[in-house]
Amino acid sequence: MAKEKILMPKLGESVTEGTITSWLVKEGDHVQKYDPLAEVMTDKVNAEIPASFTGTISEITAQEGEVIAVHELIGYIETEENDDEVVETVENNEQQLEKNSEVDVADSTDHSMKNRYSPAVLKLASEHNIDLTTISGSGLGGRITRKDIRTLIEQPDKQNKAISSENQAASSAMKQPKVKNGHIEIPVTGVRKAIAANVTKSKQEIPHAWMTVEADVTGLVTYRNNIKDTFREREGYSLTYFAFFIHAVAKALREFPEINSTWQHDKIIHHQDIHISIAVANENELFVPVIKHVDDKSVQGIAKEITQLAYKARNNQLLPEDMEGGTFTVNNTGTFGSIASMGIINHPQAAILQVESIVKRPVIINDMFAARDIVNLSLSLDHRILDGLICGRFLARIKELVESIDETASLV
């Protein structure tokens, strides 16, 4: 036996600390290698800390709610001998753990662990495009194990797509806020807490400025409407307007590298790679995953990646690497019918673009009124890095690009 430290892992690029939101084990618990030990929240993503060894939790030194720096101590584990063989016997260990838990869960309606996924489960589900919300977990508290995923992969006909009423009741009960003295108290935790910290930092540190242009996208609307049904039948996912806008923004960023920047203390960093952050949501939470190397992708490729990231967000499958490295943000506020908005910059980026709703408006063409499809493109900029001149040219270029889209545009 050996006593090993449990350290706060580095959960993403530029992540320096994490908050222990909840421990999933207690002192004296026996765990297998890769079992989740605690839930941790960073400014990038919520994740779980996996066990690096098989053994017994001997001491927990970090408390729930405590902020811990990367590589700092959070507890100790008494490891078993021959731990180098654990990787080869993970399946047997998982099966034994589930067998030992049968008495506790066989007649129980406890599904409190249903939506807590280990990194190994998330990775395996993502690789095989599996919706975790449609699976009944066989682990403690309804937790989905790697064995459940592998069983589904090998025997897809056994997938249980029905979510039990007990699951729904348990999930609903967990989300109920506290009613006190005539008002409702809702704890600020998880993603909402990270969002609050990020936007507060952005507004406190970044001197925001705003500008908006109108673009006539009648050609884009006509083209997309003509091909959207056949595209979906052929490719299996939707061709959205948003993919065209992302494609145009990537081209403009390549021509105006000053916009593709971040502020770093007393330096401005111009990024060579173009990684665009987009806002996607599940039922209750907003996430900002990143499409990497967007300027190397076609409209079709961007549409596919938007679909994949949205799917992962809805099913709690986003990984830390999905959220890292963004250099510019495009927000599809038009989804909600918005026609004008001022976005808060995704710190430490230099700007964020709001793509508003496309609406029919009367426009004068050759001294005659015509109904055209018009969209507002609203840019929020960090005035420490950018000024109106460069941003005006950048927006004008995006306007030019989207207004030129018609039936001759290439999707690949």
Indicate whether 152 and 291 sit together in one domain: no
111 as an active site residue: the answer is no
Angular region, 70: left φ>0, alpha ψ -120 to 50, beta rest? beta
Q: How many other CB atoms are there within 10 angstroms of residue 24's CB atom?
A: 19
Mean of per-residue pLDDT scores for the chain = 83
- pLDDT over 80 at 377, yes or no: yes
Considering the domain boundaries, does residue 20 fall inside one?
yes
> Which pLDDT score, from 0 to 100, does residue 277 have?
97
> Which pLDDT score, from 0 to 100, does residue 217 have?
98
- pLDDT over 50 at 95, yes or no: no
Indicate whether 133 and 227 sit together in one domain: no
Q: What is the DSSP string of 85-151?
A: GGGGGHHHHHHHHHHHTHHHHTT----TTTT---HHHHHHHHHTT--GGG----SGGGPPPHHHHHH
Indicate whether 168 and 226 sit together in one domain: no
- Rank 85-89, 101-105, 280-284, 318-322 by mean pLDDT and report only the highest: 318-322
> Which pLDDT score, from 0 to 100, does residue 195 have?
80
- 153: its two tokens: 């992969």
> Which pLDDT score, from 0 to 100, does residue 19 have?
86
400/112: higher pLDDT: 400
Query: How far is residue 128's CA from residue 122's CA, in Å, rounded to a whole number?
Result: 10
**What are the tens digits of pLDDT across the range 13-36?**
667 788 888 898 999 999 988 888
pLDDT, average across residues 206-215: 97
Which of 149, 175, 201 corresponds to the end of one domain?
175
Q: What is the DSSP string of 138-162?
A: -SGGGPPPHHHHHHHHH-GGG---P
Selected catalytic residue, list 229, 273, 387, 406: 387
- pLDDT over 70 at 171, yes or no: no
pLDDT, average across residues 369-386: 97
Considering the domain boundaries, does residue 187 fall inside one?
no
**How many structural domains compose the chain?**
2
> Which pLDDT score, from 0 to 100, does residue 48 have?
80
Considering the domain boundaries, does residue 408 fall inside one?
no
Indicate whether 383 and 321 sit together in one domain: yes
- pLDDT over 90 at 41, yes or no: no
Considering the domain boundaries, does residue 202 fall inside one?
yes
Indicate whether 222 and 87 sit together in one domain: no
> Which band of pLDDT confidence, cut at 50, 70 and 90, is reported for residue 122?
confident
- pLDDT over 60 at 94, yes or no: no
pLDDT, average across residues 207-227: 97
pLDDT, average across residues 367-383: 96
**What are the tens digits of pLDDT across the range 297-349?**
999 999 999 999 999 888 878 888 898 899 999 999 999 899 999 999 999 99
Q: What is the pTM of this model?
A: 0.67
> Which band of pLDDT confidence, cut at 50, 70 and 90, is reported for residue 118?
low
Parent domain of 348 = 192-403
> Which pLDDT score, from 0 to 100, does residue 187 have?
75
Q: What is the DSSP string of 268-318?
A: EEEPSS--EEE-EE-SS-EE--EETTGGGS-HHHHHHHHHHHHHHHHTT--
> Which pLDDT score, from 0 to 100, does residue 317 have?
82
Indicate whether 337 and 285 sit together in one domain: yes
Selected catalytic residue, list 131, 293, 383, 406: 383
> Which pLDDT score, from 0 to 100, does residue 305 have?
96
> Which pLDDT score, from 0 to 100, does residue 113 have?
56
- pLDDT over 50 at 60, yes or no: yes
> Which pLDDT score, from 0 to 100, does residue 229 have?
96
Indicate whether 207 and 92 sit together in one domain: no
Which of 175, 202, 219 corresponds to the end of one domain?
175
Query: How far is residue 189's CA from residue 19's CA, in Å, rounded to a whole number?
Result: 10
Indicate whether 77 and 165 sit together in one domain: yes
- pLDDT over 60 at 169, yes or no: no
Query: How far is residue 3's CA from residue 189's CA, in Å, rounded to a whole number?
Result: 32
170/246: higher pLDDT: 246
> Which pLDDT score, from 0 to 100, does residue 109 have?
46
Indicate whether 121 and 80 sit together in one domain: yes
> Which band of pLDDT confidence, cut at 50, 70 and 90, is reported for residue 177?
low
Indicate whether 57 and 149 sit together in one domain: yes
Considering the domain boundaries, does residue 410 fall inside one?
no
Indicate whether 257 and 349 sit together in one domain: yes
Considering the domain boundaries, does residue 360 fall inside one?
yes
> Which pLDDT score, from 0 to 100, does residue 234 have?
95
Considering the domain boundaries, does residue 180 fall inside one?
no
Considering the domain boundaries, does residue 95 fall inside one?
yes
Helix (H) or strand (E) holding 74: strand 73-79
216 as an active site residue: the answer is no
- 245: its two tokens: 């806008």
Contact between residue 29 and residue 57 where contact means Cβ atoms under 8 Å apart: yes
> Which pLDDT score, from 0 to 100, does residue 120 have?
66
Q: Domain holding 122: CATH number?
A: 2.40.50.100
Indicate whether 142 and 279 sit together in one domain: no
Query: How far is residue 240's CA from residue 355's CA, in Å, rounded to a whole number?
Result: 13
> Which pLDDT score, from 0 to 100, does residue 74 have?
94
Query: How far is residue 154's CA from residue 149's CA, in Å, rounded to a whole number?
Result: 9
Which of 227, 244, 198 has its CA nearest to residue 355? 244
Name the residue with tokens 């030990």. Answer: 37
Q: Domain holding 226: CATH number?
A: 3.30.559.10
Which of 146, 175, 204 corresponds to the end of one domain?
175
